[in-house]
């Protein structure tokens, strides 16, 4: 019974965090548009058009990630 209580309590405590969309690099996943991302990140790192994604048919941007201040990052691909 104690384990069930702990699991339910943990669920309710963590629920608000699960409800929010993640926002890596300050851009909310599933919400930020191609234009918003390009405008926000082009000032930090050089992005180039990488064509269309084979699975989602969405546009893609690629860059080397310099200027994003993420240790060990050598390439970034953004898929829309």
pLDDT value at position 4?
44
Burial profile 19-41: b = 16 or more Cβ within 10 angstroms, e = fewer: eeeeeebebeeeebeeeebeeeb
Residue 52, beta-bridge partner list? 59
pLDDT at 12 over 80: no
pLDDT at 61 over 60: yes
pLDDT digits (tens, 9 = 90+) for 15-48: 455 557 788 888 888 889 999 998 888 888 899 9
When comparing pLDDT for 15 and 61, which is higher? 61
pLDDT at 71 over 60: yes
pLDDT at 13 over 80: no
Cβ neighbourhood burial of 59 (10 Å; 0-12, 13-18, 19+): middle
């Amino acid at each position: 019974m104690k384990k069930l209580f702990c699991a339910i309590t943990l669920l309710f405590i963590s629920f608000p965090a699960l409800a929010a969309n993640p926002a890596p690099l300050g851009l909310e996943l599933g919400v930020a548009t191609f234009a918003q991302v390009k405008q926000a990140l082009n000032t930090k790192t050089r992005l180039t058009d990488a064509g269309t994604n084979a699975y989602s048919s969405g546009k893609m941007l690629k860059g080397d990630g310099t200027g994003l201040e993420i240790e060990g990052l050598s390439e970034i691909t953004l898929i829309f």
